[in-house]
Amino acid sequence: MSANLLSCDIGLKRIGVAIYTQGIALPLPPILRKNRTQASLELSTLLKERQITKLIIGLPKSQREEEIHEMERRIRHFISLLDFGGEVIYIDEGYSSVEAMERLKTLGKKERSEKIKNGELDSLSALIILERYLGVL
């Protein structure tokens, strides 16, 4: 697969980001959301700079139907704001944040807390979403 792929774990405060290029999947620094416009511009710029052809977006699943629809609506609206002509693929992000937290368990409590606060956990979740898409796990 020679395409450049980008995956996102979209939250209300941060957007976790991971890239697949030249056969390697890596987390990138997260986008810290000040507002929708700023975040969509930053993500659009990243998509252009990295020459992304496919955007993989994690969609949440919940036991409560109304929660699913609201967050899915917000995510799809945010994606519609992007200046991106490539393919957008939505996949189940189910428990990616929990799995990301599991991967951080080897860190000390303070270091783990810092990675949550600065958004690295979100980008690790995006990496897990990307790995699932690629069939790595």
Task: Convert the pLDDT of each residue in 107-117 to its tens digit.
Answer: 676 776 776 67
E strands, 66-124, are 87-92
Q: How crowded is the C-beta side of 45, counted as CA atoms within 13 Å?
A: 7
The DSSP H or E segment spanning 102 is: helix 96-103
* Structure confidence at residue 8 (pLDDT): 97
* Structure confidence at residue 137 (pLDDT): 38
Confidence of residue 5 (pLDDT cuts 50, 70, 90): very high
Please state which of the four CATH numbers 3.30.70.20, 3.30.420.140, 3.90.280.10, 3.40.50.300 is assigned to the domain occupying 5-134.
3.30.420.140
| DSSP code, position 105 | T
**Which sequence spans correspond to the domains of the chain?**
5-134
Q: In this structure, how many other beta carbons lie within 10 angstroms of the beta carbon of residue 35?
A: 8
Give residue 65's region: left, alpha or beta (phi > 0; psi -120 to 50): alpha
Is 61 a residue whose pLDDT tops 80?
no
Retrieve residue 6's tokens: 């980008």
Pairwise CA distance, residues 30 & 28, whole Å: 6
Pairwise CA distance, residues 47 & 4, whole Å: 9
% of residues, the chain, pLDDT over 70: 87
Higher-confidence residue: 91 or 118?
91
3-state helix, strand, coil in the chain (%, to 5): 45, 25, 30
- pTM equals 0.85
Is 6 a residue whose pLDDT tops 60?
yes
Q: Which of 11-15, 99-103, 114-118 has the highest mean pLDDT?
A: 11-15
Q: Average pLDDT of 76-82?
A: 96
Pairwise CA distance, residues 84 & 80, whole Å: 9
